[in-house]
Amino acid sequence: MKGFNNVNSQLSEAQNQEFLKFGLSYLKGQLSSGFSCVVSGTDTTDRDWLQDNFGRFRFQASFEDFLSLKKDFKGAEVADLLTFSQLKELAAIPSQLNGTQDVTKVTTVIDPADFAAFFDSLSQAVVAQPENYTQEVKSAFLHVIFDRGDLPAVGDDDFLQWLMRLKPLLVDLSPNLVNRFVSLAANRSCAISQEMLNVLDAIQTTLSNITKTEIYKNILLILQDQTPLKCYSGGSFYLFLKNTFLSFGFPDVSTLISLLPPTRKSELLNTISTSELGQLLSQPGVIINSPDVCIIFSHYNNTATFLQSEDVPDDVRRTILPCVWPLALSSSSRSEVDLWFNVRLKNYLRFLTKELISSTEVQNASCLAFQKLVSVMGNNFTYNSSEFGREDVYSSIRSYLSAGSGVRCYDPRDPELNSSSWFVNYIGSFITFITLDDLTSFVNTTQIEVFLEDKANLELFNNTAIPQDVTNYYIIQLFEFNPSFGLLMLPGSLLCSSDIPSSVFSSLNEDDTMAILDKLKTFCNGTRDPEISAALASNVKTVTAQTFQDLGSASSGLTNSQILSAPPGALLSSLPTLGSVTTWGQDQANTIIRSITSSGFQITSSASLESLGTLIVGVPSALMDKISAAELLNASKNPLLVSNMLAAPKVVQETFIRKIISVDTSPAKVVQNVPDALAAEIPPSLLVFAEGTADISVINNKKWTSDQASLFFATVAETDFDSEQLSSSVLQGFTCGAVRKTGKPRFKQLIHACRPRKGRAKVELKEPQLTCMYNLLRDELSLNFTDYPSDMLLYLNIQDVQKGNCRSYFSALGAADFTVASGILNKGPKKFSEAKNCLGISGPRLSRDNLEVLGNMACSLEGSDIRNSDPLILENLKACKDLSDGQVAAVETLLLSGKTKYGDVTSWNQQTLESLGTLPLYLTGSIWSQFKAPTKKRFLKRFMPNLRKEKTQKTKLKKLFEEINPRLTKRGAGCTEGNITQVTVSDPSFPFGYDLLQFNLCLDAPVLKDNLNSICQKVDDDGYQRVILNKLNQAFPTGVPDQEVQMLASVSRAATLDDISRWSITSLDTLAALMDPENGAWEKPKTKEIITKYLNTSGNSLGSRELNFIDSNLCSLDTSMLQIITSDSIGNAKLLNVASCSAEQKRVLYEISNSSFGIHRDNPVMFYNLVKGYLGGAPRADIVTLSTQNINMDVNTLTSLDNDVISGLTVTDVRGLMGENLPDLKLFENDTVVQTWVTQQLQSDLDTLNLGLLGGRAGLITPAPSSNTTATNTTDQILQPAPT
């Protein structure tokens, strides 16, 4: 081999071939186990083996020859010794290429000019054995081409051939090579670039997701070339992108938008068909940034077609809707609006959001579009899965309709906007959210007329869910613009409005009256409006049983004359109807009862009593008294009868209960038998329970007076009954005497039970009870101030409140009633001063926060403090029980400033007055002058019944009438304001609108007689009351009968002695009616005359029942008359108020009461509670005896004692009398009586009280008479040290 190798160059080709054959033959002969001429155990390299065995003859051999003679031959190691053909063979054998190094060794020796041929061969081999070529090897070959192939320099045709050559190597392409490969087509034609992408797309199934992503990115780079979209030549831009990106993804919407040149957005987007756009947007994940979708639709001309024809996923609809919503809202023709809402957005509207229906979005909507929106949202939208509610829609409606001036979207000249059904069109079913302020801001009173009578609007407002003041306003405007509007045209519940003028009802004929009554029963459950009832009843010509059936609840509108005109049989047969009417006047009920009893109806049993229903209020006490006790006890088991009885006069209630008590007078039985709601009629003396007989659970369910509760509270306190469950009615009986035997834990529980509690009535406690509680707890108060009665905190010493607890203390105190404290204590100003110091309130102005803390303390502020406060103080003042003139002036200053929530004076209306709560009761003409008479009248119709229900003091009602009613007008020719009729007086605002002169001229005596009760209940002014009395005297020249006198109410207080002399006062009912304290105070000569007239009637006396009604007026009688009162009468009466009696009268009454209650002396506290009100007439000896019995007398009772008795009391006596209440001497040291007593005592004795009382005498003096005498000159005695 060496020899021939040396002469190789001299041999011919044939000779070389022959020698190669020889060599191959020889080597094959030496072949053993795949190796030829390889010595076992030696380190023979492929290079040595090739050179030793082939020499230069290797050039004529094939690569296969080498492998056949040496099976582990590695061609890459000797690539430099191989020919190009042998290298191609090598590359076609995958096992010869074990990685990037082998590829590098092979390709390094290949001239780039031969790459085309080499890679043609390699490609065929890869196609034949794709699974045997690793990604690393294929990537290595690609790198060779990228680095040395100089493909950017070849022509397009050659480049296309190269793409085919490289295609097999691109299978499983590494993501790292994507950019190198794609960059090969840079600066080439679009066709070349597309072909490259087609090549990649053909093998896309072999590519990893990462590689595909890299390809996608490179496609984007191609599209974002310096010449954007240079390869786009027209047609659908969507298809262009689909063809460009092929299977390597599709740009999301944001990316798509970024590919659009700014100047060509509209052009390119509109090449996309609606179906293509639907496909585009329906792709998962294609919408990343929702606003970009809106960019598409802002340029897209086929939006309407798209919305109508393309079915896209819900999440896509949700994204599209905000983009097209403005188009829907801006559509201006009805057909276009209907298309948008009924067709295009039919499947989109359910995706509306709170933002899309917000005022910001819809504010600029066209009127027709907004109208459609209201309709759709009101009638077709489902809110269950929505993020907003109907109230949010209304908020946008309110904003839309309030914009601008005038009625928005109404134009009488525009056929599309001239509909009078404006409320239906633009508010629709959202009308239930409207407020009166909203309504008047949408349509003012000068514009509303055109809409009022529209049937659709009327039906819309026929909805009980609409606020009442809105409905009333609508009705008011309707009848102001058209007073003759047909009542029968009013739909449903609108008939229930109390603002329909009574004249409209009065003008009905009898047939229409019956029709209206039927509608009222259907839609309004009848009518309880007294004025409307009277108006309807006034249309009835003949009263029959059918009349009552037709009138129903409006039967109370009948006059007494009409009732009397009805046959008694008609009344009897109509009892079920009449007994269900709840608005009877006392006179009407009396008339009916008199009529049916005079015709033979017997009220003698529980059944007959129950059959009367609400008419039970008309049963006179004498008739009630004739019913057997057993029958009344049986009747009392009927809850409805008891409920009706609560509306009866007190004298009837008292008679009813007296009879029940007579069945069994033992306290335990009395409490068991008497209905819970009427327990206040039980005489206190019957509430003294024998030990172990009181059933606390039964007691706890009843309604008591404080006097009653104080008698049995000791019994309650000494049980283990859960104090938290005790009613407010029972707890109001708390006294120091009652808890004297309980341990400290128990009285603490009882005091804690008196704290304010949500959902429970306040425990009404008087000052002595509150100071008693404080004295008991004085040294053990917790810092949780809400654990105590709010009113008790008035007496807490501010020095016991740490600075850090100031806010919590004054917040709790803010719930207190400051009027409970005696005026002499000056608690309001003192606590305000303490609050300012403690809370750090500086300057004259009270902030909103200050007022929220101070609460009810505002009721005690001076006018200057009120004027300088945040307007919130008006809300605080609404809770006040009374306001001074200075406070009222300050309130009016704030209101007139226009800086409160009630706005400027020019905006005030009826709603303003109603929003002021109780404040209008105190306002003066300076405020009332800002309102028109109709507004004031409508306000009074609602305000006055509430005031009367709350039993407002008559003096306040008189003041209100003086300020609000028109002043006296010039004398004219007769009645000009309209004759006063049954309908007139049924108006709750009556007699507003009539000055004194007109009242006198317009009120006829027959009308007065027929409506005396109603008139007297409403007239509070003294001058008007004199008119009534004068006309009454004219109507009854021979004297006013009992039944009329009973109706006088507060008018009776304006009577003169001469008037009274004309009155018949023979029955207890009349006496009770005249003595009713709610009608105001009497002058003593008048009450004396009244009582005397009563007593002059045979059979009448000052019994316990009389005493209950006369009460404090007893002090008007001479002592000679008082002396005829029996001890039983006092004993069976309520505890009387005799504070205004003279000393002599008090002594007479004390003697009687002492005799009455003497049987209870073995229980000093019980005895004391029974006689407490009469102790002003007690002698010193009796008082001194009480001082030894641990009664815990309160300071009010002490100072009410006879002056001579008080002067005779020693320090020891007073200590014994007051017990736990002793500290109140210091509290009330400025009281005149207390001061006088202090000055009469030795200072040294006063010092033993440890109260800090000063002003006593100094020195020793002559001893005083012993304490068992009744002498009163005991002020100069030497006092012994107080027992410890």
The model's pLDDT over 754-767, given as tens digits with 9 standing for 90+, comes to 999 999 999 999 99
The number of residues making up the chain comes to: 1284
| Mean pLDDT of all residues belonging to the chain | 93
pLDDT tens for 1021-1048 read 999 999 999 999 999 999 999 999 999 9
401-409's contacts with Cβ under 8 Å and 24+ in sequence apart are 401/426, 401/427, 401/441, 401/442, 402/438, 402/441, 402/442, 403/363, 406/447, 407/442, 407/443, 407/447, 408/367, 408/442, 409/367, 409/370, 409/371
In this predicted structure, what is the pLDDT of residue 968? 65
pLDDT for the residue numbered 590: 97
Encoded tokens for 298: 């802002």
Residue with the two structure tokens 């269900």: 580
Ramachandran angles phi, psi of 1063, nearest 5°: -85, 145
What pLDDT is attached to residue 566? Answer: 95
Ranked by mean pLDDT, the top range of 615-629, 900-914, 968-982 is: 615-629
Q: Would the pLDDT of 772 be above 60? A: yes
**pLDDT of 566-583, one tens digit each?**
999 999 999 999 999 999
Does 42 or 337 have the greater pLDDT score? 337
pLDDT at 1274 over 70: no
Q: Given this model, what pLDDT does residue 1277 score? A: 33
Neighbours of 221 (CB within 10 A): 13
The pLDDT of residue 1212 is 97
Q: Which residues, 6 or more positions from 174, have their beta carbon under 8 angstroms from its beta carbon? A: 135, 139, 211
Whether the pLDDT of residue 29 is over 90: the answer is no
pLDDT score for 971: 64
**% the chain with pLDDT above 90:** 86
- Of 221-230, 506-515, 883-892, 948-957, the one with minimum mean pLDDT is 221-230
Place of tokens 């119709």: 941
Most distant CA atoms of the chain, gap in Å: 179
Give the least confident one: 54-63, 898-907, 1128-1137. Answer: 54-63
pTM above 0.85, yes or no: no
First CA to last CA distance, the chain: 148
Mean pLDDT calculated for residue range 707-734: 96
The tokens describing 779, both together, are 């040294």
- Residue range 962-989, pLDDT digits in tens: 999 977 665 667 999 999 999 999 999 9
- Asked whether residue 714 carries a pLDDT value surpassing 70, the answer given is yes
Is residue 1263 over pLDDT 80?
Answer: no
Measured CA to CA, the distance from residue 70 to residue 47 in angstroms comes to 12
Question: Tens of pLDDT along 1208-1229?
Answer: 999 999 999 999 999 999 999 9
Q: pLDDT-derived band of residue 604, with 50, 70 and 90 as boundaries?
A: very high
Owner of token pair 């409606």 = 397
- The residues near 1062 (Cβ < 8 Å, ≥ 6 apart) are 1033, 1036, 1039, 1040
Mean pLDDT, rounded, for 37-56? 84
State residue 1268's pLDDT score: 42
Whether the predicted pLDDT of 1281 surpasses 70: no
Phi and psi angles of residue 330, each rounded to the nearest 5 degrees, phi first: -90, -5
For 183-209, the pLDDT digits (tens) are 998 888 899 999 999 999 999 999 999
The pLDDT tens digits of the residues spanning 95-130 come to: 999 999 999 999 999 999 999 999 999 999 999 999
Average pLDDT over residues 680-691: 95
Please report where in the chains the tokens 């007296």 appear, as a residue: 658
Average pLDDT, integer, range 290-305? 95
Q: What is the pLDDT of residue 970?
A: 59
Q: Could you read off the pLDDT of 894-904 as tens digits, one per residue?
A: 999 999 999 99
Q: pLDDT by residue (tens digit) across 419-437?
A: 999 999 999 999 999 999 8
pLDDT greater than 80 at residue 268: yes
pLDDT of 468 over the 60 cut: yes
The CA-based angle 145-146-152, given to 5 degrees, is 100
The predicted pLDDT at position 596 comes to: 96
Provide the pLDDT for residue 1270. 37
Instruction: Determine the Cα–Cα distance for residues 503 and 531; give it in Å rounded to an integer.
Output: 10
pLDDT at res. 1260: 56
Residue 226 has pLDDT above 90, yes or no: no
207 burial (CB, 10 Å; 0-12 / 13-18 / 19+) is: buried
pLDDT digits (tens, 9 = 90+) for 328-381: 999 999 999 999 999 999 999 999 999 999 999 999 999 999 999 999 999 999
Q: Can you tell me the mean pLDDT for 1096-1117? A: 97
Give the pLDDT band (50/70/90) at residue 525.
confident
Q: How far apart are CA 423 and CA 450, in angstroms?
A: 11
DSSP string, 764-781: ---HHHHHHHHHHHTT--
Run of H or E including 111:
none
779 pLDDT more than 80? yes
**Per-residue model confidence (pLDDT) at position 1279:** 32
Instruction: Give me the helices (H) in 12-70, please.
Output: 13-29, 46-54, 63-69
Task: Give pLDDT, residue 1266.
Answer: 45
* Confidence grade of residue 1282 (pLDDT, cut at 50, 70, 90): very low
More confident residue, 1044 or 228: 1044
Q: pLDDT class for 922, splitting at 50, 70, 90? A: very high
Q: What amino acid occupies position 704?
A: W
Residue 1280 has pLDDT above 80, yes or no: no
Residue 192's CB: how many other CB atoms inside 10 A? 18
